[in-house]
Every structure is written in C-alpha cells, then in structure tokens.
C-alpha cells in the first residue's frame, strides 16, 4: 500500500524543518474546537459567496467549493471523517479534506481571510446559538417555578435573614424571588448577545484584506446586524466570551442559592419539602438515606463556572494587540461553562415540578417563635412611638417570653401594657400570620393579592414569549 503523502502546512515555505510531533500535539486545538465545524463551514460558505461577488472566485469555483463544504459537513456529522494530528485545528482539518475532494481550487478558499478572523467568526456564531438556547433554558426554569408557586399559592412559610426565622411570607413569594433572578440573568445574556452578534470576518490576520470584499454582504448572509469596525480589535476581542462567562457565573450563583435551599429544606431539620426519588440517590451503607445529590452537584459545579471566568480573564490580561496564540485557550472555558449551565438548567426545570411541599410543617414554622414581633413594633410606631423606642420595647417583650419559655402566642393586653401604655385593645389584632401578610401590600410585598397579581403577570409574559 502506498503511503499517503504528508500534508504540507500552509506556511511550509517559510520553514526548513518540519514541526516536532511533540509541538504538534502540544499546540493542537482540534480535540476542543472540532465542535465548531458547523459554524466554520457556514462561515466558509458565506466567504465563498463574498469572494464570488468580489470577482475573486468564478461562479463555477464558488459552487464547487460550496458543494465540497456541504459534503465535508455531512462526513463530520456522520462520523466518517477521521481527523489526524497534523491538523492543528478544525479550520485546517476542514480545508485539508475539502482540498482532497475538490482539488486545487480548495486552496482558493482561504483567500482574503486568516484563521484569526475565521475563529473569531466561528466563536461568535457558536455563542449566538448557545446563548439563544440558554435563554430558552432559563425560561423553562422560570416556568417551573411559576407553576409551583401557583400550585402552592396558599402556603405560608417563615422568611429568613441570617438563616434565622424573621417574618412570615408566602412560599409563592419566595419562589418568585428566583424567577426575578432568572429574569435578570436573561437580561444579561440578551445584552451579551448584542455584542456577540457582530461580524468580524474580513479583518484578515490583523490589518484587513487587500481584496474588495463586501463585509456587509457577508454579514447579511450570516445574519449579523453589525460589522466590526477595527480589524485589530476584531481578531483579538474576546470580551464577548468574558461577558457571556460572567453572565453564566451569575446564572450559577442563583442556581446554587436555590440548590442550597433545596438541600436545607429537604433535610429532617427543616422538613419543608421532599425531593422526588428520581432526583435523589441512596447510601451504599445506610439504608434509610435519601441524598439530594442533584442540588449538591449544582452547588459544586458553580465553582467550576467561576473558575472558567477567572481563567479567561487571566489569559487576556497581558496580551498586546492583536492576535496571540494564547487566545486558543478561550474555547475550553466557554464550551464547558455553556455545557454545565445547560445541564443545570435542564435539571432544575425537571426537578422543580416533582417537589412535594410539606404545607403543615411550613405553616407551623411560620407561627412558632417570634416571627410577629415586628408587627408589634410597627403597631407602636403607628401609635406615635418612635420606631427605635418601639423596637426596644418589643425586644424586652421577647426577652421576657424567652425567659418564661413561651413565645408570642397567649399574650394578653395586660401583658403588653406592662411594657408600654401605648398598647391598646386592638394590639392583639396584629398578632396573626394572615394579618402580617396582608399588611405587606405595597408593590413587591408578600400580601396575597400582590403575589397573585405578580403570578398572573409572569404567567402571561412567559406564555407570550413561548
């Protein structure tokens, strides 16, 4: 069998020695960037059409190249194209196979472009698709929370500060707090998408190109609303990757906070919810255990996404203009972060509907202890007592009840008047959970009518978007 001739590097004319195999292995990014093959081929097809429009390629040459590129795409998607170590990256692998298929005209594909603007384009095309997908994933998570809040709209629970019971709130109000977080996450991703959606092709290696390429024509072919305005910046800009990573880090922050509450709430110490068996695991030793592994892993994976953000910021911080090979290290962080966040959002959207809420346990926790102490302080303030003084009065009441081993239930008007003559007959009326809820009727408060109104707005908005 004849040995296949060694493929020449495109820069082989400059070098007297072949690249050391160890260097080829060390510098290759193919194992990572091979997932960009669809974007790379889409960009190459648009580039072909632009070269044809500029008269650099004939119509026949362009059609031959485009047909060859479609064939390469099919071979890769069907797993029939075998990459070799000699291919540094997905761009070289595709071009090499294309040239095998179409002959010498394959060498014309790279006219007027560099791998520098090519990879910048591929990454923007990739992120445009993925961010759009992540926006949909966030919406599905929001929908699951809204549906659970609607289902459990009557449930009261303790609200917390410092992980100490503070004031009664509706469970629905608590759940909708995460819907608001996710909405901000979606806003940040949409904002990042505007800066992702800028077309860099035609910037060349760093200075532009000598060919009369209509970059706006290329942008229209690829669906970009804007074209980069500085070639040096275009080939070296990875701000859009950092911005996406920062937005994803915040998505994970919120996911981790929710996961932490699921871990706490499903413990015997809280007993507020039970996770579906399908999202838990058991112990290899202790038969009684039901472990919240999915929320725990979400917490852990959050640090992984944070690390990717810091890694890329560190890569970029000392780079002179314009392109540097350091930028090859931009893909692993964003690819893994996107994959991680996609998986986490999918898990959460599937896990939330199966949560069993222990309504009685939550309600009992909202009535025990001193969650209504603030109601007494506000009562005194409304009677004209300065709030700081009212705060101190109620603090003494709490201390007295603690010393007696009691809470606020069972208080009489005489008990209250021992601490302040400002208490009147209606003072005991404020010591009810329902009253405490309904008095929080301002915009954003936990009153039932406010929460129900917000639920309706969110349901309508999510349905309209879907």
Contact 258, 264 (CB under 8 A): no
107: its two tokens: 């060498």
Q: What is the largest CA-CA distance in the chain?
A: 106
Task: Determine which one of 77, 133, 267, 283 is catalytic.
Answer: 283
How far is the C-alpha of 143 from the C-alpha of 353, rounded, in Å?
10
Task: Determine which one of 162, 231, 236, 284 is catalytic.
Answer: 162
Residue 297 vs residues 153, 340, 343, 411: alpha-carbon distances, Å: 29, 11, 11, 46
Residues forming beta bridges with residue 357, ordered by sequence position: 273
Number of helices (H), then strands (E), belonging to the chain: the values are 18, 6
The SS3 of residue 117 is helix
Residues forming beta bridges with residue 208, ordered by sequence position: none
The SS3 of residue 161 is strand
Active site residue 254: no
Contacts of residue 281, defined as CB under 8 A and 6 or more positions apart, other chains included, come to 291, 293
335: its two tokens: 């690819």
How far is the C-alpha of 200 from the C-alpha of 234, rounded, in Å?
6
Contact 244, 214 (CB under 8 A): no
How far is the C-alpha of 289 from the C-alpha of 49, rounded, in Å?
62
Phi, psi angle pair for 169, to nearest 5°: -140, 165
Phi, psi angle pair for 346, to nearest 5°: -65, -40
Contact 54, 209 (CB under 8 A): no
How far is the C-alpha of 188 from the C-alpha of 196, rounded, in Å?
12
How far is the C-alpha of 54 from the C-alpha of 423, rounded, in Å?
87
Phi, psi angle pair for 361, to nearest 5°: -65, -45
> What 8-state DSSP symbol labels residue 162?
T
Active site residue 203: no
Contact 450, 443 (CB under 8 A): yes
> What 8-state DSSP symbol labels residue 264?
H
Task: Write out the catalytic residue numbers.
Answer: 162, 283
């Amino acid at each position: 069998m004849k040995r296949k001739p060694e493929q020449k590097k495109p820069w082989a004319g400059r070098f007297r020695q072949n690249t050391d195999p160890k260097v080829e292995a060390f510098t290759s990014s193919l194992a990572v960037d091979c997932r960009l093959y669809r974007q790379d081929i889409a960009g190459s097809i648009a580039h072909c059409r632009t070269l044809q429009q500029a008269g650099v390629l004939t119509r026949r040459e362009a059609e031959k190249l485009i047909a060859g590129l479609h064939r390469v795409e099919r071979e890769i998607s069907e797993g029939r194209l075998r990459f070799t170590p000699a291919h540094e990256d997905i761009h070289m692998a595709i071009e090499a196979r294309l040239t095998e298929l179409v002959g010498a005209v394959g060498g014309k594909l790279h006219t007027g472009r560099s791998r520098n603007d090519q990879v910048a384009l591929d990454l923007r095309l990739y992120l445009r698709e993925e961010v759009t997908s992540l926006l949909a994933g966030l919406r599905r998570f929001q929908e699951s929370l809204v549906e659970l809040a609607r289902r459990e709209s009557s449930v009261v629970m303790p609200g917390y500060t410092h992980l100490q019971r503070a004031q009664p709130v509706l469970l629905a109000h608590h759940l909708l707090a995460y819907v608001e977080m996710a909405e901000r996450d979606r806003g940040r991703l949409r904002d990042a998408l505007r800066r992702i959606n800028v077309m860099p092709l035609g910037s060349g290696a760093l200075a532009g190109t000598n060919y009369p390429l209509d970059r706006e024509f290329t942008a229209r072919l690829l669906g970009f609303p804007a074209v980069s305005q500085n070639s040096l910046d275009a080939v070296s800009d990875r701000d859009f990757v950092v911005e996406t990573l920062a937005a994803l880090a915040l998505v994970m922050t919120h996911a981790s906070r929710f996961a932490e509450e699921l871990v706490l709430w499903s413990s015997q110490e809280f007993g507020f919810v039970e996770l579906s068996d399908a999202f838990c695991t058991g112990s290899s030793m202790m038969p009684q255990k039901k472990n919240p592994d999915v929320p725990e892993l979400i917490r852990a994976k959050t640090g992984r996404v944070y690390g990717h953000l810091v890694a890329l910021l560190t890569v970029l911080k000392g780079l002179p203009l314009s392109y540097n090979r350091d930028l090859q290290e931009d893909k692993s962080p964003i690819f893994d972060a996107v994959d991680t966040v996609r998986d986490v959002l999918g898990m959460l959207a599937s896990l939330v509907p199966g949560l069993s809420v222990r309504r009685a346990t939550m309600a009992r926790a909202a009535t025990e202890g001193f969650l209504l102490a603030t109601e007494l302080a506000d009562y005194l303030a409304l009677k004209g007592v300065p709030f700081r003084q009212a705060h101190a009065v109620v603090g003494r009441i709490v201390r007295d009840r603690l010393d007696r081993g009691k809470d606020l239930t069972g208080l009489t008007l005489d008990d209250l008047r021992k601490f302040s003559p400002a208490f009147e007959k209606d003072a005991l009326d404020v010591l009810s959970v329902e009253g405490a809820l309904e008095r929080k009727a301002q915009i954003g408060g936990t009153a039932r009518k406010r929460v129900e109104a917000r639920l309706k707005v969110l349901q309508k908005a999510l349905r309209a978007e879907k």
